Amino acid sequence: MTSEPGSQSDRAPLDTVPPEEVSRRLRLALDVSKIGVFDADLETGRVTRDAVLMQIFGYGDQPDEDEGDLLEKTLHPDDRERTWAAIDAGIASGEPFVNAFRIIRPDGEVRYIRSRSVTFRDGKGHLRLLGANWDVTDDVMLQQSLEQARTLSETRYEALESAWREIERRALQDQLTGLANRHALLRWLDGLPAPPDGPRPVHAVLHIDLSRFKEINDTLGHRAGDAAIVHVAGLLENLRLEEEWLARIGGDEFAFVLAAGERSEKAAEIADEVIRILEAPIPCDGHLCRCGVSIGLSRTGDEVDGRQALINAAIALSSAKAQKGSRTVLFTAELENRNRAIKQTADDILRGLDDDAFMPFYQLQFDAKTLEVCGVETLARWQHPQHGVLAPDRFLKIAEDIDAMWRIDRSIAEKACADFMRWGREGLGIPRMSVNISARRLLDPQLLASFPTRNLPKGTFVFEMLESIFLDALDGEMAKAIDRIRKAGIAIEIDDFGTGHASVLGLTTLHPKRLKIDRALIAPLTRGERHRLLIAAIVEMGHALEIEIVAEGVETQAQIDLLRTMGCDVLQGYALARPMAASDIEALLRARMAAAGATAHQTEGSPPAAE
């Protein structure tokens, strides 16, 4: 069987191949591999180079022989000393050696060369250097590109790392004061040790709030406010120990976490020191300002981690802010229960709005001279699913805190207007309806859309406003809003008169249709002359300004009699009618109409009196 070409059986041992065939095969291999060969006689200096080597050096494609100056004239100047030193060392060693260098070809192109050489003695006894050169420029360029890419990648990575560290620093730092922010504080609190076999170290947490700070921004501008915050941060920083944490967690709020041990045990004293320092005048962009200070104090413990302690401090702070003056309030379970109840009420309010659970109640108003119905005041009530019908004192403050009161007002007003229009169609004879309006609602551009004033007598609808609205805010937009209300034919009453800081000038500026004397002034009316003189003076002042006087909170017949005698125009209170739902109002009015009709019929049918 014939073997395949090139199989082992076809290959003759190399020592049996003629020398010229060996030379031919070697030359073919060198040509294919692009390796150039040189042979230098170190005794005579003559160097023989093959065609491939001449091509590598850029000198055509013919073999050459010279005195060895080709390498000298093409060698890169920066590599000259190192290259010749390597050649000299290799020759001296008598061992094969490698070299690497650059050449500059006649066309100016720089090429990277690798060389492998060996010395030997020829038949004449001459020392000769035989070597092979190959062009590795492409490999070097690729390696340099990879190195550049790696360097670029490392540089970019370092830049990204630096940018990320800066982003993280900014994310954890308050930019105005340089203190830690809430996020950084929470991360630190999460890292507080919690030994598995021992008690948790107790840290005191102070939640600090500056009261009246908004006034600085409003009167002096945000630049002054920023200066005040930076100053406060510096004062607090001076109180902080190295192992303690201070963070700005809100516009004018700071959190101060004291070290476990003696510092936390003296937290109340430190809180007093904070109040003393921060109540001193604060420099605000060339001005000196004062702020009140409220502090909520809580502690970590076995059942209270850092985050919960911060929440507890916030609950205590809310209680501190609700009280007058600068003070510190310690978190207690009672405070937590109260806060939980407030949160539940807030959730219930929002759910009640979604379920349309807020409805109007009405209290009739009576002409003081005739005791005939002359109007009705709309009152807000909440049909709570568990607690029944609730008055505003059960939800008003919380609704304002969660910015839901305007929605309640709007819902009540829309329902009240619908009831009032129905009563008119059914001839129930209520001349006017009053609705309580907050300052925010006055500025609502959609306010008048709820009130169908067209084709109704002027003054049919009445807006009741607290006296503080027109004395504190009757300027700019508020004045324009009141002007729009009057042009729509809606009258204005001042509610709870006598409990604020009203002035005759304020009354003449607004010129309301009516004043409602607060129930707190009506209650003691029968107790002495001094109270009667006060009410009489208010009635006289109102009439002098052509303002009608309404007395609310009238609860006894004696009060009715005195108020009628004093010339009060309208009476409202439990002595005459309690607040009622729409259906009860309608039933009462129909009963009064029926009674009045029966009385009139009886009078008409009675015999004439004897002469």
| Residue 535 near residue 517, CB atoms below 8 Å | yes
- Kindly state whether residues 293 and 273 are assigned to the same domain: yes
Residue with the larger pLDDT of the pair 595 and 420? 420
Q: How far apart are CA 310 and CA 314, in angstroms?
A: 6
Strand pairing category for 514-517 and 491-497: parallel
Cβ neighbours of residue 40 under 8 Å, at least 6 residues apart? 46, 47, 48, 68, 128, 129, 130, 131
- Kindly state whether residues 162 and 192 are assigned to the same domain: no
Instruction: Provide the mean pLDDT of the chain.
Output: 86
Q: How far apart are CA 29 and CA 33, in angstroms?
A: 6
Q: How far apart are CA 475 and CA 594, in angstroms?
A: 49
Query: If you average pLDDT over residues 302-329, what whole number do you get?
Result: 90
Residue 607 predicted with pLDDT over 70: no
For 178, other C-beta atoms within 10 Å of its C-beta total 12
- Kindly state whether residues 66 and 156 are assigned to the same domain: no
Give Cα 455 to chain centroid, integer Å: 48
Residue 175 belongs to some domain of the structure: no
- Kindly state whether residues 220 and 116 are assigned to the same domain: no
pLDDT at position 499, please?
A: 62
Tens of pLDDT, residue by residue over 540-579, are 999 999 999 999 999 999 999 999 999 999 999 999 999 9
The CATH number assigned to the domain holding 301 equals 3.30.70.270
pLDDT at position 4, please?
A: 42
Residue 68 belongs to some domain of the structure: yes
Strand pairing category for 461-466 and 433-436: parallel
User: Which of these, 319, 308, 278, 313, lies nearest to 297 by C-alpha position?
Assistant: 313
Q: How far apart are CA 398 and CA 382, in angstroms?
A: 13
User: If you search the block for the tokens 């360097």, which residue do you land on?
Assistant: 151
Tens of pLDDT, residue by residue over 490-546, are 999 988 776 655 566 667 777 889 999 988 899 999 888 888 999 999 999 999 999
- Kindly state whether residues 285 and 152 are assigned to the same domain: no
Residue with the larger pLDDT of the pair 600 and 65? 65
Lowest-confidence region among 87-101, 115-129, 276-290, 458-472? 458-472
| Residue 107 near residue 58, CB atoms below 8 Å | yes
Residues 192, 196, 200, CA angle at the centre, nearest 5°? 45
Helix axes 306-322, 333-354, angle to 10 degrees: 80
Residue 475 predicted with pLDDT over 80: no
Lowest-confidence region among 247-261, 384-398, 426-440? 426-440
Query: If you average pLDDT over residues 55-74, what whole number do you get?
Result: 83
Query: If you average pLDDT over residues 340-365, what whole number do you get?
Result: 94
Cβ neighbours of residue 265 under 8 Å, at least 6 residues apart? none
Strand pairing category for 433-436 and 35-41: unpaired
pLDDT at position 550, please?
A: 96
Residue 419 belongs to some domain of the structure: yes
Q: How far apart are CA 109 and CA 517, in angstroms?
A: 105
- Kindly state whether residues 93 and 200 are assigned to the same domain: no
Q: How far apart are CA 20 and CA 369, in angstroms?
A: 146
| Residue 62 near residue 51, CB atoms below 8 Å | yes
- Kindly state whether residues 320 and 385 are assigned to the same domain: no
Beta bridge partners of 580: 362
- Kindly state whether residues 119 and 156 are assigned to the same domain: no
Question: What Å distances lie between residue 186 and 192, 203, 245, 270, 360, CA to CA?
Answer: 10, 14, 11, 22, 45
| 93 membership: H or E segment, kind and range | helix 80-93
- Kindly state whether residues 322 and 393 are assigned to the same domain: no
Residue 57 predicted with pLDDT over 80: yes
Query: Looking at the 3D structure of the chain, how many domains does it have?
Result: 4
Tens of pLDDT, residue by residue over 270-305, are 999 999 999 998 887 777 888 889 999 999 988 889
Range of the domain at 482: 353-598
Residue 604 belongs to some domain of the structure: no
Residue 357's identity, in one-letter code, is A
pLDDT at position 199, please?
A: 82
The CATH number assigned to the domain holding 84 equals 3.30.450.20
| Residue 267 near residue 255, CB atoms below 8 Å | no
- Kindly state whether residues 468 and 589 are assigned to the same domain: yes
Lowest-confidence region among 42-46, 164-168, 221-225, 413-417? 164-168
- Kindly state whether residues 273 and 386 are assigned to the same domain: no
- Kindly state whether residues 155 and 257 are assigned to the same domain: no
* Alpha helix positions (H), 114-261: 137-172, 182-190, 213-220, 222-239
The CATH number assigned to the domain holding 388 equals 3.20.20.450
Query: If you average pLDDT over residues 167-193, what whole number do you get?
Result: 87
Query: If you average pLDDT over residues 105-123, what whole number do you get?
Result: 92
Q: How far apart are CA 303 and CA 537, in angstroms?
A: 62
Q: Please, which pLDDT band fits residue 6 given cuts at 50, 70 and 90?
A: very low
